[in-house]
Amino acid sequence: MTHPPLAPAAPTDTPTAPVAHEEQRVAWAELFFDLIWVFAITQITTTLAGAHSAGEAARTVLLFLPLWWGWVGTTLVANLAGSRVDRASGRMVLFGAAGCGLLVSVAIGQAYGDRAILFAVAYTVLRLVLWAVRGALPGVSRRLALEPFAVALFVSAPLYLAGAVLGGTWQTALWVTAALIELSSPRLLRRRLAELRFETAHLPERFGLVLIIALGETVVATGNQAAAGLLGTPELVALALAFTLIVLLWWTYFHFGAPAVRHSLEHTPAQSRIVTDVFSYAHLGYVVAIVLVAVGLKKLLGHPFDTPHSLPELLLAPGVALYLWGFCYARWRMFGAATVQRVTAAAACCAVAAAAGLLPIAVTAALLVAVLLALNGFEIWIVRTGRPLPLLRLPRGRAGGHDEPGQGPAAAEV
């Protein structure tokens, strides 16, 4: 990646050709930063796999929310920094954020016990770093204002700290409150984000990479379980189903969805809508969904033809359903309509989830594979034959993007 010269060149009378805009690419330091979040997702998956009740599962998912907003905040700051992120100072910021993320991740297993204070303090330092760096960027207002970065530092972080000190029921209540504030502030304060201009190649690549991280966790969870246990015919069948399901999840996002997201970010007059609704919210749903799938696949390899006896064994179908509903939400927020095939597929996965308690886990996995195969096969056929997308039109409100539903490159699918 090139850097601007340290000093301006001497003036010259020779006219210079206009410089073409160079797309911002993901920096190596950002990829290193992502390694910490690989570990974080592994910690969340491992903890969730050991949950014995819906309450324990919900409290584990709650721990992922500050991690998610820390990753999103770092990504947005890196995007706004442009080429500066690959300078020594930018790399040091990313390494500092990664160190905070590592401490938060290490604390996950005992976040409601002995390591609650470590979790809260490390997260508070991360938010302080992001708030300070954002305010120092050129073109960003330095005045203290009610915007998502400030809310996270001055409202949510103190709630995490107070909850960690008090412990017990107070900890859960305060951490839920902090998470809800962080979850709602990008939406409620979207006008503050509207003041910022984001580079349109970098963000889609970054959020695509975080899905790769999550999908990688499904591979690791599945592979570790297969490597540690027996590997007879039932386990080989389960492994084949698991791998096919992972490939189909990748295909569902990256074959059609990712190009549509970039198109929308490039052409919408209000980038903050895409950054908030599609990147921050929809991708949060995607990652949580993939974590649920990872837990379900791990249980699939352990007992492929047993009926579920615990909550983690029931998470596979809800995870796939949430993943597909995320696409319906994202397309509605971008273009005012969801595609009929993805709504239908999501509803079918909900039906599978409702029956999953009565079915062997391998049968549930096979049904989900069949749904995703049908969905992706139908979408390939639609695109290749040039037929219009069947759309479920919803009230647009302020959700519409640049193109009308079903028109332009974004109609390829999301």
pLDDT at 17 over 50: no
pLDDT at 187 over 90: no
Place 136 in a pLDDT band, splitting at 50, 70 and 90. Answer: confident
The Cα–Cα gap between 378 and 48 comes to 34
Q: Tell me what the pLDDT averaged over the chain comes to.
A: 89
Per-residue pLDDT tens for 296-311?
Answer: 999 999 999 999 999 9
pLDDT at 13 over 60: no
pLDDT at 77 over 80: yes
The Cα–Cα gap between 43 and 48 comes to 8
Q: What is the pLDDT of residue 16?
A: 39
pLDDT at 15 over 80: no
Strands (E), 224-371: 337-339
Exposed/middle/buried for residue 208 (C-beta within 10 Å: 0-12, 13-18, 19+): middle
The domain limits of the chain are: 28-194, 202-412
Tokens (6 digits) for 190? 């979207």
The Cα–Cα gap between 221 and 319 comes to 15
Q: What is the pLDDT of residue 260?
A: 86
Q: What is the pLDDT of residue 144?
A: 59
The Cα–Cα gap between 313 and 49 comes to 8
- Angle between helix axes 28-49 and 283-302 (nearest 10 degrees) is 50
pLDDT at 3 over 60: no
Q: Which long-range contacts (CB under 8 A, 24 or more apart) does 52-58 make?
A: 52/310, 52/311, 53/311, 54/311, 57/311, 57/312, 57/315
Q: Smallest Cα–Cα separation from 253: which of 190, 342, 186, 140?
A: 342
Q: What is the mean pLDDT of residues 191-217?
A: 90
Considering the chain, what percentage of its residues have pLDDT values greater than 70?
A: 89
Query: Is-contact 243 36, C-beta < 8 A?
Result: no
Q: Look up tokens 């570990």; give the residue.
A: 39
The Cα–Cα gap between 253 and 293 comes to 15
Query: Is-contact 265 206, C-beta < 8 A?
Result: no
Q: What is the pLDDT of residue 270?
A: 78
pLDDT at 407 over 80: no
Output phi, psi for 382, to 5 deg. Answer: -60, -45
pLDDT at 400 over 60: no
Q: What is the pLDDT of residue 1?
A: 42
Q: How far is CA 3 from the centre of its chain?
A: 30
Strands (E), 187-346: 337-339
Per-residue pLDDT tens for 223-264?
Answer: 999 999 889 999 999 999 999 999 999 999 999 888 888 888
Q: What is the mean pLDDT of residues 145-164?
A: 93
Cβ count within 10 A of residue 344: 17
Cβ count within 10 A of residue 20: 6
Helix (H) or strand (E) holding 393: strand 391-393
> From the CA atom positions of the chain, what is the Rg in Å?
22
Sequence-distant (6+) residues with CB within 8 A of 21 are: none
Return the half-sphere exposure (C-beta side, CA atoms, 13 A cut-off) of residue 311: 13
Q: What is the pLDDT of residue 10?
A: 40
> Do the strands 391-393 and 337-339 form a parallel or antiparallel pair, or are they unpaired?
antiparallel
The Cα–Cα gap between 207 and 223 comes to 24
Per-residue pLDDT tens for 344-362?
Answer: 999 999 999 999 999 999 9
Sequence-distant (6+) residues with CB within 8 A of 354 are: none
The Cα–Cα gap between 381 and 290 comes to 26
Q: What is the mean pLDDT of residues 313-326?
A: 98
N- to C-terminal Cα separation, the chain:
31
